Amino acid sequence: MSYKNLLVHLDDRKACAGRVAAAIGLAQAHSAHLTGLYVAADLALPGGLRAEVPAEFLHTLREQQEAAMEAAKQDFEAMVRKAGLSVDCRTAHAPAGRIAGIVAGHARYADLVLLGQPEADARGEYATSGAEDVVMASGRPALIVPYIGARKTIGRRPMIAWDGGREAARAVNDAMPILEQAEAVSVIAVNPKDGNHGQEPGADIALHLARHGMKVEIQHLKVRDISVADTILSRIADQDADLLVMGAYGHSRVREWIMGGTTRQIFTQMTVPVLMSH
């Protein structure tokens, strides 16, 4: 099993280079085609106000967008040129509020989409990220690459956050191409709930992975003083894991997705790439 079609979201942030580097590494490891996608944010103006904006301003704005799109495309092509990969680069325009939907739509024709971790603003606060919307709405697994970057290789020592739920099961299945190439796989169940596990939490999923030829270690922990997310992040550091695999939990309300607490905290505090499925 392997990925054959990867999509990486391109933007103007400095962290984009690390995201593309991670995408190149995965594409090389799986002999996959790699697509870059840059979506420019159109100026959002009410219909009546738009008619009052000078045409010269709108023309200049469009020229700036086209220049940014071309720069992103050239940067992407420069990075992948030496990798000897099958690649293409796509660009599109959309209102800022619809960019995540455009990315999610393209992601449905890929095996895996690579996205950037949301970054904090000057006050250290995290706004709702388009990446979160893609994870929740695309119907495809997403690899979220930290804005601090990723190691040269991803998935040699992955950790699975296992709770026995549907989302976690899907994430494990979606991560199989990476897990099957791992040196060792760690399964961690934090505060396991009755009914979601067998007699020993994590044992059944570990047996499933072992039948795929993986070397698996199981941990189940009960914690009270710190959150589930903090426990997982601590174990990642202690065990030098280079990838976290987990289900993305949340629910929808009118026109937006709301992530669950553990998913949201991992999203904002991740130290290694996280493969999420919803």
pLDDT of residue 255: 46
Q: What gap in Å lies between CA 142 and CA 251, rounded to an integer?
A: 17
Same domain, 66 and 139: yes
Which residues fall within 8 angstroms of residue 47, CB to CB, at 6 or more apart?
A: none
pLDDT of residue 169: 94
Structure tokens at 2: 């392997």
Same domain, 130 and 190: no
Q: What gap in Å lies between CA 272 and CA 144, rounded to an integer?
A: 9
Same domain, 140 and 166: no
Same domain, 19 and 115: yes
Helix (H/G/I), strand (E/B), else coil: 143 = strand
Same domain, 165 and 136: no
Give residue 93's domain range. 5-145
Q: What gap in Å lies between CA 104 and CA 185, rounded to an integer?
A: 29
Let me know: does 270 contact 244? Beta carbons within 8 Å: yes
Let me know: does 87 contact 80? Beta carbons within 8 Å: yes
- CATH assignment of the domain containing 141: 3.40.50.620
Q: Does residue 257 lie within any of the structural domains?
A: no
Q: Does residue 221 lie within any of the structural domains?
A: yes
Same domain, 19 and 135: yes
- Report the length, in residues, of the chain: 278
Q: What gap in Å lies between CA 160 and CA 174, rounded to an integer?
A: 12
pLDDT of residue 116: 94
R_g of the chain computed on alpha carbons: 20
Same domain, 165 and 140: no
Q: How many CA atoms does the CB half-sphere of 170 hold within 13 Å?
A: 15
How many domains are there within the chain?
Answer: 2
AA identity, residue 36: G
What are the C-alpha distances in Å from 270 to residues 33, 118, 237? 27, 10, 11
pLDDT by 10s per residue, the chain, length 278: 789 999 999 998 889 999 999 999 999 999 999 999 999 988 666 665 656 667 777 677 778 888 888 988 999 998 998 888 999 999 998 888 889 999 999 999 999 999 999 876 544 555 555 888 899 889 999 999 999 888 888 999 999 999 888 999 999 999 999 999 999 999 999 887 766 666 677 889 999 999 999 999 998 888 888 898 999 999 999 999 999 999 987 755 544 555 668 888 888 899 999 999 98
Same domain, 119 and 98: yes
